C-alpha cells in the first residue's frame, strides 16, 4: 500500500481508551467519512493495508512526547515503520537503531483529525 498518499491526507483517530493521546486508537481515512477505511495490520505478511472494520487488527497504541513524535504499535505486534523509500509503511519489530523510521510526527488539523 502506498502509505504516503494515506499519510498526506488527514486521518481520523478514534480513541478506544481514555488517554491524552497515549493509548489505543483506530486510524481511519478522512476521505471517506461515510464509509471509513481503517489502517489494518496483517501480522503474517507484516503489511499495512486499509480495510473495513476488524477491531483487534486495527487497534494501534500511540506513545509519544509533547513534541508530537510518536511510536505507533499494533495490538497484534509490529511497530509502524517507514520502508527505505519512505513512501510505504509496514509493521516491524521495535528496533532502537531504527528510531528515525519508527517515530511519526502527528499534527492536529481539526477536531479529531490529524495528519
Domains belonging to the chain, first-starting first, are 3-107 (2.80.10.50)
Query: pTM of the prediction?
Result: 0.65
51-86 confidence digits (pLDDT tens): 766 667 788 888 887 777 888 888 877 787 777 665
pLDDT over 70, % of the chain: 64
C-alpha cell at 98: 531504527
| Ordered DSSP codes for 2-66 | BHHHHHHS-EEEEESS-SSS-EEEEEEESTTSSS--EEEEETTTTEEEEES--GGGS-EEEEE-T
Task: Output the nine-digit C-alpha cell for 41.
Answer: 495490520
Q: Which residue has the higher pLDDT, 4 or 36?
A: 36
Average pLDDT over residues 10-26: 57
Amino acid at each position: 500500500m502506498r502509505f504516503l498518499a494515506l499519510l498526506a491526507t488527514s486521518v481520523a483517530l478514534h480513541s478506544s481508551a481514555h488517554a491524552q493521546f497515549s493509548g489505543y486508537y483506530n486510524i481511519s481515512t478522512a476521505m471517506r467519512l461515510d464509509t471509513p477505511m481503517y489502517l489494518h495490520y496483517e501480522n503474517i505478511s507484516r503489511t499495512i493495508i486499509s480495510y473495513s472494520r476488524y477491531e483487534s487488527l486495527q487497534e494501534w497504541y500511540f506513545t509519544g512526547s509533547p513534541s508530537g513524535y510518536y511510536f505507533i504499535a499494533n495490538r497484534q505486534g509490529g511497530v509502524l515503520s517507514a520502508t527505505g523509500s519512505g513512501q510505504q509503511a509496514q509493521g516491524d519489530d521495535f528496533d532502537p537503531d531504527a528510531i528515525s523510521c519508527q517515530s511519526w510526527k502527528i499534527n492536529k488539523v481539526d477536531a479529531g483529525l490529524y495528519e
